[in-house]
Structure 1
Amino acid sequence: MYATLAPPGQPWKVPHNKRMPERTVPQPLDRQQWQGAALFLASLFMFFVSSIILYFLYAYWRRDEPQAAMELPGMFLISTVALLGISVLVHKATKLVRRDRCSATATVLGLATVLSFVFMVAQGYSMWQMLQTPQMRNGFYQGVGSMVVVLAILHALHVVGGIIALGLVGARCYEGRYDHERHGAVDFAAAYWHFLDLVWLFMLAAFWSTTAGFNF
């Protein structure tokens, strides 16, 4: 921890095994990746914002249809909890990789992958429940219920991409390819899942405000 004394006129020397850790500096490749990632997330953000705005307009136009009085499956809330859990885990992974704890990072990403499958199963069951309601059976294309299903499927397709990213990043982290200097892929995977989380929360709020609420 302390530098050793040196003769007058010579610089102090720090033992090699006692050097303080260098400050983490993003590599040039990481900067290039983040520029592309920022553009990618910005384009997705505009796409989902436009979709939610169009959903509100459609829901207002169809406000007198029977589907406007239908209830949302309670499983939507369970899938939301799973999605929030994924965000917590991937955020933890970004902290662990900066400490060169690759094995722990891979484990946390593996747990996030398991939760992502829980989310997909819950979403699939929720949409199946919606399709079994009388309002949906009597007119799938005649109300907000159909748009809820379409937007949920659209979000789920992007979740599939997030699952693939978790698997690839987790496997490479297990191989020791990331450390306190090279962790751009882990950070991007985390940012992507935070984005999916935020989009789903906005979607869920839109669904809740244009239907009869949740069915528990």
Structure 2
Amino acid sequence: MESLDVSDVFRALPSPMEAAAETANRRPTPPPHVVPRGTSELGMYLFLASLGLLFAASMLGYGIFRIMATMERQTTVSAAGSVLNAAGDSVRPPLPLQSLSLPWPLWFSSGVILLSGWTLHRAVQKVRVEKLAEFRQMLVATLLLSMLFLIVQTPALIALVMERQADHATALSGFLFFLILLHALHVVGGVVPLFKVTLSAYAGRYDHEHYGPVKMLAMYWHFLDLVWIVMFGVFLALG
């Protein structure tokens, strides 16, 4: 049996210079990708800002159209009851402000959506203090109220479609229908994640440290509350 030569072992080992060169040339392992804190909130704020511009432009268009409908014209009334201009052509009569009546379901739905915003706010408060049973109850209440809001909005939209007044009023009813439907569709867009968040809450995926989706949902829902308050206030002020 051959004896092991210690010198051969040392010759097989890399020299300190070679080891240092190999370490210098070795590419460092990249750190795991970590999303900076607050990125989700910033994205939500940007998203809500874009939606805010959409609703603001829509409300501005309604306000301009509504004010134009109040402009007085030099008109006369024919024997048949038609409104005629100086040239004798039939024209649309001016429509004073606050002359359009809002369907009563809009009043009821206003209270419903504000109440749903409060229950969702309470849900966030409960999960922060680890009261998970009450947290889940508030989510269920918010989900039921959001569905009730959509149900109540349906007859209001039907009433606007069936509105039969002057030409201006018909056009304004159509504008009201568009704005209310636009808001209702965004509520539907919030009900879907609300349902998923509620299921996740019952699956035990949230606690006082991990409730980011609930917070993002609450931000979106409070935005819809604010938009509806502004819309309804404009509807009441201009009519």
The aligned residue for residue 235 of structure 2 is 207
The aligned residue for residue 16 of structure 1 is none
> Displacement, 1:140?
8.4
The aligned residue for residue 124 of structure 1 is 154
**SS at 1:134 equivalent:** coil
Deviations 1:2-40 (A, max 9, x none): xxxxxxxxxxxxxxxxxxxxxxxxx95662211211111
The aligned residue for residue 197 of structure 1 is 225
Alignment partner for residue 114 of structure 1, among 99, 122, 144? 144
Q: Is the counterpart of residue 77 in structure 1 residue 107 in structure 2? A: yes
The aligned residue for residue 54 of structure 2 is 47
> Displacement, 1:52?
0.9
The aligned residue for residue 179 of structure 1 is 207
Decide whether aligned partners of structure 1 residues 29 and 196 sit closer, same or farther in structure 2, where only a CA change above 3 A counts.
Answer: same
Find the aligned partners of 1:159 and 1:202 in 2 and give their Cα distance: 15
| Matched residue count | 183
Check the 8 A contact 1:89/1:109 in 2, yes or no: yes
**SS at 1:203 equivalent:** helix
**SS at 2:206 equivalent:** coil
The aligned residue for residue 128 of structure 2 is 98
Alignment partner for residue 58 of structure 1, among 51, 65, 89? 65
Find the aligned partners of 1:142 and 1:132 in 2 and give their Cα distance: 9
Moved over 4 A (4+): 27-30, 65-68, 138-142
- State the superposition RMSD in angstroms: 2.2
The aligned residue for residue 39 of structure 2 is 32
Alignment partner for residue 197 of structure 2, among 148, 169, 190? 169
**SS at 1:177 equivalent:** coil
Moved more, 58-67 or 151-160: 58-67
Alignment partner for residue 160 of structure 1, among 188, 194, 207? 188
Find the aligned partners of 1:44 and 1:188 in 2 and give their Cα distance: 15
The aligned residue for residue 82 of structure 2 is none
Check the 8 A contact 1:106/1:171 in 2, yes or no: no
**SS at 2:38 equivalent:** helix
Q: Say which structure, 1 or 2, has more relative contact order (CA 8 Å, 6+ apart).
A: 1
The aligned residue for residue 89 of structure 2 is none
Structure 2 residue ranges without an equivalent (≥5): 1-33, 71-93
> Displacement, 1:152?
0.1
Moved more, 72-81 or 97-106: 97-106
Check the 8 A contact 2:98/2:236 in 1, yes or no: no
Find the aligned partners of 2:168 and 2:192 in 1 and give their Cα distance: 31
% identical aligned pairs = 32
**SS at 2:185 equivalent:** helix
> Displacement, 1:69?
2.6
Structure with the greater alpha carbon radius of gyration: 2
TM-score by length of 1: 0.78
> Displacement, 1:132?
2.5
Find the aligned partners of 2:120 and 2:153 in 1 and give their Cα distance: 20
> Displacement, 1:97?
0.8
> Displacement, 1:127?
1.5
The aligned residue for residue 150 of structure 1 is 178
Structure 1 residue ranges without an equivalent (≥5): 1-26, 212-216
